[in-house]
Amino acid sequence: MLDERKLKVLYAIIDSHLNTAEPIGSRTISKDYDLGVSAATIRNEMSDLEDRGYLIKPHSSAGRIPSDKAYRLYVDQLLTNNEKKELERNQEIKEEIQQETKQTEDIIKNSTRLLSQLTSYTAIAISPQINKLRLKHIQLMSMDGNNIILVLLNSSGSVQNNLFYIDEKIYNDNLFLISKILNDEFNNLTIDEIVDKIKNKDIFKIEELSTILDYILPFISKSLQEISETKIYIDGLTKILNFPEYRDIDKARDFMEFIEDEKTLINLISNMENEDGLTISIGEENEPIEMKHCSIITTNYQFTDKSIGKIGIIGPTRMDYLKLINIMDTMSDNINEIFKILMG
């Protein structure tokens, strides 16, 4: 554990580096921060901090920059001290997120766009995990006998629909009766539970519709699984180019190619878990090599106290973590409150 003087020197270096993006020398700290010690003492402390892995000396530079280990110590103290506070723009943020929409997808899209604007970083969000929400209503409608529309209303108030084609024509009179059966059987179940019931053929059938049900249920099951597929929203992809850390074209290209690989990005963000909802992964803590120079901050958004998705930012490890933690908490609180009001 670092003593108080070393901590003061380290946090001064972090603060200075956040503002300048340049390596920091002992003279700068002595001049800009009143630590009550000489430049020589600061220089000795910096040398010790470097030996302990908290500072890095870039090639051909007299100054030092914070390491991932230093940022981790700094972030952990921020979270322990609970220095979070609500942003002054809280009400304005809530209004910009909602924008008179009641659609879950639009709320998350708006949140992603606004988060990128507020932070100047690349913002990402994972769509609500529909398979965790409960069915409120299901409706089948025929366009021409072969093309069937499946409409699903879930417990979040969101409506999804999917179109599928069948060889054998089924018209709306039978689809109305089938919809009634499905609503009786599936009401308040999750999509995963519905798919299991269909797979196990554990569903009540009316004799005269038995053949049609046997034929159409696999299509419904497949359609439900397609509806529940996780989507990812990205805003501000090119904002990474505004940071001096990404002036290297190859480094910037690798970053953007990774972000555009939706499947890999979804897996990375989905696996970031923390009991408090807020997760901060710094530099080398990130498994993908393309993210080794980045920090990723995510938080959950909820419906009925159950996490159904994530929203977050990605940028260089040189971040104003306190400011960003406050923004993330504000965004999460507002999304959760909007969902709670909309879904009653």
- Concatenated DSSP letters of 227-295: HT---EEEE-GGGGGGSGGG-SHHHHHHHHHHHH-HHHHHHHHHT---TTS-EEEEGGGSSSGGGTTEE
Higher pLDDT, 322 or 152: 322
**What local confidence, expressed as pLDDT, does residue 198 receive?**
85
Instruction: Find where tokens 């409150």 sit.
Output: 337
**What local confidence, expressed as pLDDT, does residue 275 receive?**
63
**What local confidence, expressed as pLDDT, does residue 213 receive?**
83
d(CA 179, CA 186): 10
- Concatenated DSSP letters of 150-191: EEEEETTS-EEEEEEE-SS---HHHHHHHHHHHHHHHTT-BH
Q: Residue 234: what are its φ and ψ, rounded to 5°?
A: -130, 135
Asked if 90-129+230-343 and 131-227 have one fold, the answer is no
**What local confidence, expressed as pLDDT, does residue 226 receive?**
77
d(CA 341, CA 50): 51
Q: What is the pLDDT of residues 196-233, one digit of tens each?
A: 888 887 777 777 778 888 888 888 888 888 777 788 99
Which CATH number is 131-227 given? 3.30.390.60
Q: How confident is the model at residue 114 (pLDDT cuts 50, 70, 90)?
A: very high
**Helices 210-227 & 172-186, crossing angle to 10 degrees?**
70
The strands making up 147-154's β-sheet, listed across from edge to edge, are 135-142, 147-154, 159-165
Asked if residue 129 lies in contact with residue 309, where contact means CB atoms within 8 angstroms, the answer is yes
Handedness of CA 191, 195, 201, 206 (dihedral sign): positive
Q: How confident is the model at residue 284 (pLDDT cuts 50, 70, 90)?
A: very high
Find the range with the poorest average confidence among 79-88, 185-194, 287-296, 323-332.
79-88
Q: What is the pLDDT of residues 127-138, one digit of tens each?
A: 877 777 788 899
d(CA 55, CA 326): 26
Q: DSSP code of 208?
A: G
Other beta carbons within 10 angstroms of residue 336's beta carbon come to: 18
What percent of the chain shows pLDDT beyond 70? 93
d(CA 330, CA 85): 9
Q: Structure tokens of 298?
A: 């995510």
Q: Structure tokens of 280?
A: 């901060």
**What local confidence, expressed as pLDDT, does residue 84 receive?**
60
Residue 59 burial (10 A CB sphere; 0-12, 13-18, 19+): exposed
Q: How confident is the model at residue 166 (pLDDT cuts 50, 70, 90)?
A: confident
**What local confidence, expressed as pLDDT, does residue 85 receive?**
62
d(CA 158, CA 315): 31
Alpha-carbon 97 to chain mean position: 15
d(CA 239, CA 116): 9
Asked if residue 119 lies in contact with residue 313, where contact means CB atoms within 8 angstroms, the answer is yes
d(CA 2, CA 94): 41
- Single out the residue of 220, 275, 214, 241 nearest to residue 79, CA to CA: 275
User: 4-66: which CATH number, 3.30.1340.30, 1.25.60.10, 1.20.1730.10, 1.10.10.10?
Assistant: 1.10.10.10
Domain boundaries, the chain: 4-66, 90-129+230-343, 131-227
Q: Mean pLDDT score of the chain, rounded to an integer?
A: 87
**What local confidence, expressed as pLDDT, does residue 133 receive?**
75
Answer whether residue 344 shows pLDDT above 60: no
Higher pLDDT, 65 or 222: 65
Q: What is the pLDDT of residues 256-276, one digit of tens each?
A: 999 999 999 999 998 887 766
What's the residue count for the chain?
A: 344
Alpha-carbon 196 to chain mean position: 28
**What local confidence, expressed as pLDDT, does residue 295 receive?**
97
CATH number 3.30.450.40 is the correct assignment for the domain at 90-129+230-343? yes
Other beta carbons within 10 angstroms of residue 269's beta carbon come to: 22
Answer whether residue 308 shows pLDDT above 60: yes
**CA distance readout (Å), 129 to 3, 102, 231, 234, 328:** 45, 17, 9, 17, 20
Answer whether residue 318 shows pLDDT above 80: yes
Q: What is the pLDDT of residues 115-130, one digit of tens each?
A: 999 999 999 999 877 7
**What local confidence, expressed as pLDDT, does residue 100 receive?**
67
What's the whole-number mean pLDDT along residues 317-327?
A: 94
